[in-house]
Structure 1
Amino acid sequence: MSLRETVELLDQLIAMPTVSADSNMAMIAELAHRLEAAGARTDVMLAPCGTKANLWASIGPDAPGGLLLSGHTDVVPVTDQDWSSDPFQMREADGRLYGRGTCDMKGFIAAAVVMASKVQAQKPVHFAFTYDEEVGCIGAQALIPELQARGLQPKMAVIGEPTGMRVIEGHKGCCEYTTHFTGLEGHGSDPGRGVNAAEYAVRYVTRLMELRGDLMARAPAASRYQPPWTTINIGRVSGGVAHNVIAGKAEVDWEMRPVVQDDAHFVRQSIEAFVETEMLPMMRAIHAQADIRTETIGEIVGLEPMDVNTARDVLMDLLGTNSAELVPFGTEAGLFQQMGMDVVVCGPGHIAQAHKPDEFVAIDQLETCLAMLEPLMTGA
């Protein structure tokens, strides 16, 4: 029964195209309605834009501690992806449920909401469903101070990202930036009379790539991550308007995923020093208004493996495993850990299926998730 209801709810959620650029209000309203019907106390927290919201809900006694089940409502775009069927119309085939968000991460959300009406929690069970995780964990960053102001702090939290129902106790942080270059346009026949923003963007990228080698050498000896060092990725480089015009503007999108916070400081200080002492003096010797400005898109802390972690131990027992793992991808988990909760990441589906055409979650993964949630929520 719970599985059938979960699949039916997931079908509804997939039909709500909550791409990060768009509103998630219809999904939030549906989740709030269902949780209220299960006896939960709900609070819809609007984003500053007014078209998105976080949902906080609590069921069971109004008491300290308890369990938090958390997931993000937004999904990544399907633009230019070659899907076999409508990505926002869930399709079942070969024991799998296909659709954008099935594994990342509406499958977990559907399971958690369905189970809310099935269990009698002895301790508080809280639900946090956030907006804009895919573009910098913006919703969760807005939620944390609200919880702190209200004195709400569950003892342990499960972030239901797709892990194949493996227990994850740690992941790297994720820092995303866009660096803007402003030069001086001119005729391409005399490059020395202008400041080519595209050329300086290339120099900037080259320096970031050099820092990759330094980061490999800084990898902690006992690092369990793969790869074991802090990584830097160049996501987009753009600039200029034509072959024969000195590029007046350029941009570089880049990210790093630090193993430890010291690596993040090292990268930022190194690239800032390169800009201030080498690049800007060269640019401004030709054009005083030339500039390089880095915009922070998001700086999300990692989930640090802890010696004492009640959430990890409870889930390992429920799932019958004797180990917890680390993953390279980022989640909202570190934000909740900073509040003092014991946190793990565990949910149905696999990250390998996320963000791709024909994203899917296996039905047996949802069954395993439901089987875990019932005793977890009852014994919260």
Structure 2
Amino acid sequence: MDAIELTRDLVAIPSHDSEAAVGDYIEDWLRDHTDAEVRRDDAGTDEDRGGNVFARKGSGEVTLALVGHHDVVPPDESQLTESGEYVIEERDGRIYGRGTADMKGALAAAMVAVREAEPACELVFASFVGEEVGGVGARYAIENGFAPDYAVVTEGSTGYSGPQTTDVAVAHKGRRGSTITASGEAAHASETEEGENAIYRATDAVDIVRDLEFPSTDVLGHSMCGSVAVTEIDGGSAMNVLPERCELTVDERTVPGERAPLSRVEEVTGVEWTVDQDLPPMACGDEAFADAVLDAADGAQDDTPEHVVKPHATDAGWLSEAGTDCVICGIAEPGEAHTATESASLAVIECCERVYRTLAASFAG
């Protein structure tokens, strides 16, 4: 079975409500088709996620991990049959269906690479649960001792420097989502002096957010700039009542080592700021490793790949935060993941299998 056939099998197993069944398939396939030591943990089992899947083979002074995830976001109606199965189509050199790009195509490529590789190091395959809901599996694995020296996270890196070119991302932004809550005192709108307008306090906080400088940094010669934006507002109860409460949501894209000083909004009377989600950014700190992955990518395709940066968070952020040097190299192109027309290039699936296999055979730290 090659990586394309395996992609078809993985995509055919629904994994948006529960990824346990596809996790079973991955575990069984690795046991049946590789000489790796295979195990399963208990990540997300209380939510019927079925646990992360790991495979390990080879030995050496360093550990190289090929990391993916086997959960997907809910499919569009057009991606489901009447009986609830996933629709899979192939045309014009691409495979279409929920999870093809994010990220079962790359997962299949990594599984075949584990089967075929004769690693120069200790090679680990890891497929996590719950990536789409905040890194459930990655965080569980890290908390329970998963600490490879190096990792290739197989999220999308194709199409950044050129169409169909599989690049190597050396950094990505994180995301911090937060809430600004302004409290006031309700009063009749005809007697404004009797109350405190929570919306006015909220807009004072918005002025502070608007004037914040965006954090920036450099990673291996690549500039990264974060952003901060107020994205939602909710306040007021009636046209003739001064509002006693107003809430704002803030989307912040973070860069390694930096955060915008959003706590300044609490300088406004009656305003509180709370962090709801903080997905960490990623930065590769080992240029030699980044170059080794780029060399493998260069040898696996006719185009010339480049080091690039990604705009959004992945499980690489959790691994990087825990001390693993990471890069991202995978099949998904910008704009493919989570869409009703999600697809992956068959040629790029094969390319990524070559990248992973070549890197495992050549990288010894």
TM-score by length of 2: 0.81
For the residue of structure 2 that corresponds to 1:294, the secondary structure is: strand
Q: For the structure 1 residues 374 and 61, does the alpha-carbon distance in structure 2 shift closer, same or farther, using more than 3 Å as the test?
A: closer
**How far apart, CA to CA, are the structure 1 residues paired with 2:123 and 2:177?**
33
For the residue of structure 2 that corresponds to 1:113, the secondary structure is: helix
**How far apart, CA to CA, are the structure 2 residues paired with 1:255 and 1:26?**
34
* 1:58 and 1:124 in contact (8 A); partners too: no
* 1:198 and 1:238 in contact (8 A); partners too: no
**How far apart, CA to CA, are the structure 2 residues paired with 1:76 and 1:205?**
32
For the residue of structure 1 that corresponds to 2:132, the secondary structure is: coil
Is the aligned partner of 1:86 residue 2:80? Answer: yes
Alignment deviations for residues 57-80 of structure 1 (CA, whole Å, 9 cap, x no partner): 1232466533201113333345xx
Task: Give the superposition deviation at 1:166.
Answer: 0.7
**Counterpart in the other structure of 1:284:** none
Task: Give the superposition deviation at 1:162.
Answer: 0.9
Alignment deviations for residues 3-39 of structure 1 (CA, whole Å, 9 cap, x no partner): 44223223324x33x2xxx433223222222223234
Is the aligned partner of 1:325 residue 2:308? Answer: yes
* 2:283 and 2:326 in contact (8 A); partners too: no
**How far apart, CA to CA, are the structure 1 residues paired with 2:217 and 2:320?**
23
**How far apart, CA to CA, are the structure 2 residues paired with 1:375 and 1:29?**
27
Task: Give the superposition deviation at 1:158.
Answer: 0.4
- State which drifts further: 185-194 or 52-61: 185-194
* 2:284 and 2:327 in contact (8 A); partners too: no
Is the aligned partner of 1:215 residue 2:214? Answer: yes
**How far apart, CA to CA, are the structure 2 residues paired with 1:305 and 1:170?**
6
Is the aligned partner of 1:160 residue 2:154? Answer: yes
Task: Give the superposition deviation at 1:160.
Answer: 0.7
1:334 to 312, 317, 328: 317
- State which drifts further: 182-191 or 27-36: 182-191
Task: Give the superposition deviation at 1:354.
Answer: 1.9
1:273 to 260, 264, 273: 264
RMSD: 3.2
1:240 to 232, 236, 239: 236
Task: Give the superposition deviation at 1:245.
Answer: 4.2
Q: For the structure 1 residues 208 and 153, does the alpha-carbon distance in structure 2 shift closer, same or farther, using more than 3 Å as the test?
A: same
As a proportion of its length, which structure holds more strand? 2
For the residue of structure 2 that corresponds to 1:279, the secondary structure is: coil
As a proportion of its length, which structure holds more helix? 1
**Counterpart in the other structure of 1:172:** 173
Q: For the structure 1 residues 188 and 26, does the alpha-carbon distance in structure 2 shift closer, same or farther, using more than 3 Å as the test?
A: farther
Is the aligned partner of 1:2 residue 2:12? Answer: no
* 2:43 and 2:140 in contact (8 A); partners too: no
Is the aligned partner of 1:230 residue 2:230? Answer: no
Q: For the structure 1 residues 29 and 272, does the alpha-carbon distance in structure 2 shift closer, same or farther, using more than 3 Å as the test?
A: same
2:333 to 336, 341, 350: 350
Q: For the structure 1 residues 116 and 141, does the alpha-carbon distance in structure 2 shift closer, same or farther, using more than 3 Å as the test?
A: same
**How far apart, CA to CA, are the structure 1 residues paired with 2:193 and 2:94?**
59
**Counterpart in the other structure of 1:285:** none
Alignment deviations for residues 335-355 of structure 1 (CA, whole Å, 9 cap, x no partner): 323444332100002022223
**Counterpart in the other structure of 2:356:** 373
TM-score by length of 1: 0.78
Structure 2: any 5+ residue segments left out of the alignment? Answer: 159-165, 299-303
**Counterpart in the other structure of 2:128:** 130
Identity %: 26
Q: For the structure 1 residues 24 and 76, does the alpha-carbon distance in structure 2 shift closer, same or farther, using more than 3 Å as the test?
A: same
Q: For the structure 1 residues 255 and 2, does the alpha-carbon distance in structure 2 shift closer, same or farther, using more than 3 Å as the test?
A: same
**How far apart, CA to CA, are the structure 2 residues paired with 1:23 and 1:175?**
26
Is the aligned partner of 1:255 residue 2:251? Answer: yes
**Counterpart in the other structure of 2:277:** 297
Letter matched to residue 22 of structure 2: M
